[in-house]
Amino acid sequence: MNLRESSLPAGWYPRSPAEISRFLSGFAGKGGDPQGEGSGETGATAGEKGRQDAAAIAPHAGWFFSGRIAAGAVSGLDPDSETVAVIGGHLPGGAPPLFALEDAVETPFGPMPLDGELRDALMKELAGREDRYQDNTVEVLVPMVRFFFPGASLLWVRFPAEGSSFEAGRILARIAGGLKRKLVVLGSTDLTHYGGNYGFSPRGKGPAAHKWVREVNDAKFISAVESGLPEAVLERAERDRSSCSAGAVLGAMGFARAVGAGPARLLEYGTSAGAAGGGEAVDSFVGYGAFAFKRGKRASALPE
């Protein structure tokens, strides 16, 4: 078996199956924080049970910072799915889509098979290339996907930050429909990277900066995602530096639109400053948002 090995160093996510199970078991079948509490600043639908979402968007930082927010999104995806497509990013406009070409991906629970049939069909249509690079946007979410979907296959792909990624999501839906594949999609992005560590401090430091990121910069991007307008998402990401992987967001949106899912709903929002307990005094921090696209009446049928 040609296995894609883990490339992220220790600390990004637990490497012990027991640790992962303890971290995620409270989410299984509940689609959100089992206590309904939020580690972040917003938890509007935390604790909501019985979701069977067609697509979701989750953050991709280390689990200490964003793992609980991400789990609320992943755990709400339709549990009957045969394949989970994780769309990563960190690719600029003009870059080709990148695909994992191995047979399976290494996880703490053992190899997770890659859906070669779906991958090859999509890769051919999108003129994709092999993903040879170390990147967290997909890998950090794979153990979580493996936990919630132990019998499913994986599609590992990264989309560039350009408008064509929305159409690529629609193409993915069409190809999956043609293959009669029960597919859900998980887009992967973090939001504003603020502070000296990231070379972006338009509001200085301290509580005012933290408030501006939460209530203005990230809020505008969240509104763009909820609007369902791909051009608004891309514009905000580029103008405001409020998404590091806008292509992944656009891919999830395109897929959701093609299968008749509802508009994106914000599940939860938080920042790394809040997760680390430093609060507004932290100079450098990252915003995190989780979204869900509720399965609609057409979502189990072939896309238009």
pLDDT in tens, 25-38: 888 554 333 323 33
Q: What is the CA radius of gyration of the chain?
A: 18
**Can you say how many angstroms the Cα of residue 233 is from the centroid of all Cα atoms in its chain?**
15
pLDDT < 50 positions in the chain: 30-47, 299-304
* Dihedral sign of CA atoms 38, 40, 58, 164 in order: positive
The amino acid sitting at 90 is H
Domain boundaries in the chain? 51-293
- pLDDT score at 274: 78
Where do we find the tokens 């919630």?
Answer: 148
Q: Where are the beta strands (DSSP E) in 149-188?
A: 153-158, 183-188
CB atoms within 10 A of CB 296: 14
CATH class for the domain made up of 51-293: alpha beta
Q: Where are the beta strands (DSSP E) in 123-233?
A: 129-130, 153-158, 183-188, 193-194
pTM score, whole prediction: 0.91
- Residues 171 and 126 sit within 8 Å (Cβ to Cβ): yes
- pLDDT score at 279: 61
- pLDDT score at 237: 98
- pLDDT score at 1: 84
CB atoms within 10 A of CB 94: 9
What's the token pair of residue 116?
A: 């070669």
- pLDDT score at 85: 98
The amino acid sitting at 109 is F
